[in-house]
Amino acid sequence: MTPISNFFDADAAALLERRMAERPRHGDQPRWQAALDALPTLEQGWRFDNGVLRAGAEATEFEALTETLRAFIPWRKGPLNLGGIAIDTEWRSDWKWQRVAAHVALAGKRVLDIGAGNGYFGWKMLAAGARVVIGCDPTALFAAQFRVIEHFAGVEPHILLPLPFEDLPVCADFDQVFSMGVLYHRREPLEHLARIRSHLVPDGELLLETLIIPGTADDELDPGVRYANMRNVYRLPTEPRLHRWLVEAGYTGIETMDITATTTQEQRSTDWMPFHSLARALTPDGSHTVEGHPPPLRAVVRARVDPNASGASLDA
């Protein structure tokens, strides 16, 4: 793993190291570490081929490498090809990136990717010219998967911090922040949006991708215990309410770039993610979630820091 000090000043790096050391160790960590140690040494390198992140030269022991990579199931973001092994991930994340990529200019920028998963989008950001990509995600498995990908791809100006976004020290030094698939997991969406603003340079930009509900009224759905079989889904706004949240959090130039329904072709069970996926979360005709809510609809919204707005306040 690339040293954190390569990406942050000494005080911030020390704080991050301490917060990572304080996090509880996952019970599967020894198994994942054994699998990481078993990865073959191959010529490193990476590229994208029709949305597939291809990393590393082709291995000679396909069956052994396949078994090693299966130790990191479920693989959710991709598609990937590591050492010549195709990993058909749950999400066709390349489809989401196609909806996002036309609306950001990343050349030379310092980028923060919140809820980065295994870092797939971070490699897309590097390919688009980003100078530095820092991802954060508290899920220990995703951090282990990132290390697998890095093993084949090689070290780049790309790091994944195994921490929640809220553990990052506030420092307004990112040109671009991505928050994709995160906002609806926050009880207080304005706090999340305001915290993002505190990490952006004065002319910085947020690219937000999140679930919304249909409608032209200033409204929201609070789904209760579950939404599409997901726990911890709190507030799903209409597009007008989402725009209002952004204004209240201190953003301007707010534009909806895309609204797309999630399909069972984009999110599905595979051999590399063999658990329940979207098809099991919808009614047979796809008209509602199994809880009776509108089915997943995702918006891509772009916004800039408003230099004249105080925005929502942060508690920490």
Biggest alpha carbon distance in the chain?
A: 59
For residues 239 and 146, give the distance between their C-alpha atoms in angstroms, rounded to a whole number.
33
Tell me how far apart the terminal alpha carbons of the chain are, to the nearest angstrom.
Answer: 29
> Which amino acid does the sequence have at 23?
R
For residues 171 and 267, give the distance between their C-alpha atoms in angstroms, rounded to a whole number.
35
In this prediction, residues 98-105 reach a mean pLDDT of 95
Give the CA count within 13 Å in the CB-facing half-sphere of 81. Answer: 15
pLDDT band at 215 (very low <50, low <70, confident <90, very high): very high
Q: Give all strands (DSSP E) within the chain, no chain letters.
A: 46-49, 52-55, 77-78, 80-82, 85-87, 91-92, 110-114, 132-136, 158-161, 174-180, 200-212, 220-221, 236-237, 251-261, 297-305
pLDDT averaged over every residue in the chain: 96
pTM: 0.95
- For residue range 81-92, what is the model confidence (pLDDT) as tens digits? 999 999 999 999
The CA-CA-CA angle for residues 128, 52, 266, to 5°, reads 100
pLDDT band at 2 (very low <50, low <70, confident <90, very high): confident
| CA-to-CA separations, 153 to 29, 35, 159, in angstroms, rounded | 22, 17, 13
- For residue range 157-199, what is the model confidence (pLDDT) as tens digits? 999 999 999 999 988 899 999 999 999 999 999 999 999 999 9
pLDDT band at 313 (very low <50, low <70, confident <90, very high): very low
Residues of the chain with pLDDT > 70: what percent?
98
Residue 107: exposure state from Cβ atoms within 10 A (0-12, 13-18, ≥19): exposed
In this prediction, residues 238-242 reach a mean pLDDT of 98
pLDDT band at 95 (very low <50, low <70, confident <90, very high): very high
